[in-house]
Amino acid sequence: MEDVIILGTGCAGLTAAIYAARANLNPLVIEGSQPGGQLTTTSEVENFPGFPTGIDGFDLMDNLRKQATRFGTRFEHAVIDKVELEGAVKRLYAGEKAFETRSCIIATGARPRLLGIPGEAEMYGGKGVTTCATCDGAFYRDMDVAVIGGGDSACEEALFLTRFCSKVTLVHRRDELRASPIMADRATSHSKIEMAWNSLPKSIVADDAGKVCGLVVTDAITGSERTIPCKGVFIAIGHIPNTSFLKETLPMDADGYVVPQHGSQVRTDIAGVYVAGDCADHIYRQAITAAGMGCQAAIETERWLAEQ
Ligand code: NAP
């Protein structure tokens, strides 16, 4: 049986692993379907303390992984679909395979939210609809694309795409961006970015080859419709926590974020079970706050195990 299993290899999971490993807990980290988490699909991370000129998201996660490995963290690939967390022995199941552990840190992160409009699912991945400019931007060299959303992610995606694309239309449902002022300024003042304000995405249109050729939007004020010609649609409208495997095990809010015990960010209602990062944080959702929660969860775990 393990002393501690950490679910997730994003900033929260790997920071928890570094702390748990340095506390001689010999942690086992289970990595799911997106090793390294969301930062691996980010371009430049400019706000992680300690990197005055920024760091590539993939490199940051690679560094964290190396640091965790250096202190003895073990990694195993599995997608956990069921858990039994009550009691002294906690069981985590990946299909038929069961992992047993005395304690557990859940740091499973979140995934991109989709729109659910016609054309989106049909053309997702390879046919012009995507949620990752860093991964797919280079495929749209010298083409017109649309980015949907009004937050920091949408601005970041739009700015990144200006490196390749001839024109980026940033499609937002209101007339004011949600993004931080610095990101909003950069996006709205960029010569290659055109704003489509008050525009509600209605459907994504395919050409004869089944690939994206336009985005139909409805004007939120007048109700009129128009098609924005584009070869790529980048969706950046927020995230959904990866917590469905925990249903009816831990308290969650209406959006599926794990709700920690009152007075703690990382302690859950079940003894020996902790949460960290975006699966439990719908407010800050930053790499550094996820790392901070991972650190807290590992320290709490160490103390709890010592008490047992
Ligand atoms: P977000 O801040 O929640 O923004 C989501 C955006 O999508 C909002 O503008 C929202 O519109 C729009 N939206 C949501 N559902 C929609 C729908 N069905 N149709 C059309 N538009 C829809 O999400 P985020 O941009 O992913 O950012 C998440 C967190 O990560 C934030 O705290 C952000 O600061 C942080 N972040 C930081 C950086 C950075 O600092 N470099 C980069 C990326 C993300 P409304 O505004 O009308 O609600």
pLDDT at 41 over 80: no
Q: Are 300 and 273 in contact (CB under 8 A)?
A: no
pLDDT, average across residues 75-97 = 97
Residues constituting the chain:
308
Render pLDDT for 261-303 as a digit per residue (tens, 0 to 9). Answer: 999 999 999 999 999 999 999 888 889 999 999 999 999 999 9
Of 3, 136, 144, 281, which residue is the catalytic one?
A: 136
Nearest CA to ligand 1 atom 30: 285
pLDDT recorded at residue 286: 86
pLDDT at 191 over 90: yes
pLDDT recorded at residue 251: 95
- Smallest CA-to-CA distance from 12 within 207, 165, 241 is with 241
d(CA 185, CA 172): 15
pLDDT, average across residues 80-89 = 96
CA of 149 to the centre of ligand 1 (A): 6
Q: Collapsing DSSP states into helix, strand and coil, what is residue 306? A: helix
Render pLDDT for 199-228 as a digit per residue (tens, 0 to 9). Answer: 999 999 999 999 999 999 999 999 999 999
Pick the atom of ligand 1 nearest to 47's CA. 40
Token pair 């015990």 in the structure block, residue = 261
Nearest CA to ligand 1 atom 3: 238
CA of 85 to the centre of ligand 1 (A): 33
For residue 127, the 8-state DSSP code is S
What is the number of other CB atoms lying within 10 angstroms of the CB of residue 293?
A: 28
- 134 pLDDT band, cuts 50/70/90, is confident
Report the largest interatomic distance among the alpha carbons of the chain, rounded to a whole angstrom.
Answer: 66
How many Cα neighbours within 13 Å face the side chain of 208?
A: 0
Pick the atom of ligand 1 nearest to 180's CA. 34
- 189 pLDDT band, cuts 50/70/90, is very high
The C-alpha angle 251, 285, 168, rounded to 5 degrees, equals: 130
Handedness of CA 175, 179, 185, 189 (dihedral sign): negative
Judge whether 135 counts as a catalytic residue: yes
pLDDT recorded at residue 143: 98
pLDDT recorded at residue 43: 66
Query: pTM, whole model, 2 decimals?
Result: 0.81
pLDDT recorded at residue 132: 86
pLDDT recorded at residue 42: 67
pLDDT, average across residues 116-125 = 93
d(CA 159, CA 46): 14
Contacts of 215 (CB under 8 A, 6+ apart): 146, 148, 169, 171, 201, 203, 204, 205, 227, 228, 230, 233
Q: Are 236 and 149 in contact (CB under 8 A)?
A: yes
pLDDT, average across residues 74-95 = 97
Of 135, 175, 185, 253, which residue is the catalytic one?
A: 135
Fill in the amino acid letter for 296.
Q
Tell me the CA end-to-end span of the chain in Å, nearest whole number. Answer: 15
pLDDT recorded at residue 209: 96
Q: Collapsing DSSP states into helix, strand and coil, what is residue 240? A: strand
